[in-house]
Amino acid sequence: MAHRKRIGGGRRRAVTDDRRPRRRGQGELEALVLSALREADGPATAGWVQERLGGDLAYTTVITILTRLLEKGAVSRERAGRSFAWTPASDQAGLAARKMRKVLDAESDREAVLASFVTGLDPDDERLLRELLGHARAAEDG
């Protein structure tokens, strides 16, 4: 998609989006940062994460993303000198499950939401869900 930009005496020229870096969404940036943290051998600094991502994100952007992830419970941090070292709180599946619970908790009619979710599952996912629920019940019973 091209847009027009004013130059000189009010003329306009076409500027293509290819000349501007693609803007990534917040969720995409969070996923990139979490992925980098999972590759670390232990807690990692924001500088290490920035380096791991190729340095195309500003250090302050990395800090902002890490802070948002901390607020969401997706990472933890510990003091490392004057800075912090960051660790992912759970794997990708755990983060997805946390998001699903958050959506469910925000709805007033949990039964309707769960019913809609379950009826929308494909047969293989429905079978898997039944198996998982069976295992959970067996574990509760002893």
Distance CA 22, CA 129 (A): 38
- The answer to whether residue 129 sits within a structural domain is yes
Tell me, what's the pLDDT at 19? 54
Same domain, 32 and 68: yes
Question: Tell me, what's the pLDDT at 11?
Answer: 47
Residues 6+ apart with CB under 8 A from 38: 88, 91
pLDDT tens for each residue of 99-132: 888 889 999 999 999 999 999 999 999 999 999 9
Show the domain range for 49. 26-88
Range list of H helices, the chain: 26-39, 46-52, 59-71, 92-106, 110-119, 123-141
Write down the pLDDT at residue 50.
Answer: 96
Nearest to 86 by CA among 118, 136, 48, 113: 48
- Identify whether 48 is part of a domain: yes
Answer yes or no: do 118 and 84 share one domain: no
Type of residue found at 105: D
Q: What is the pLDDT of residue 22?
A: 62
**Positions in the chain short of pLDDT 70:** 1-26
For position 30, which CATH number holds?
A: 1.10.10.10
Say what the pTM is: 0.58
The H or E element containing residue 4 is strand 2-7
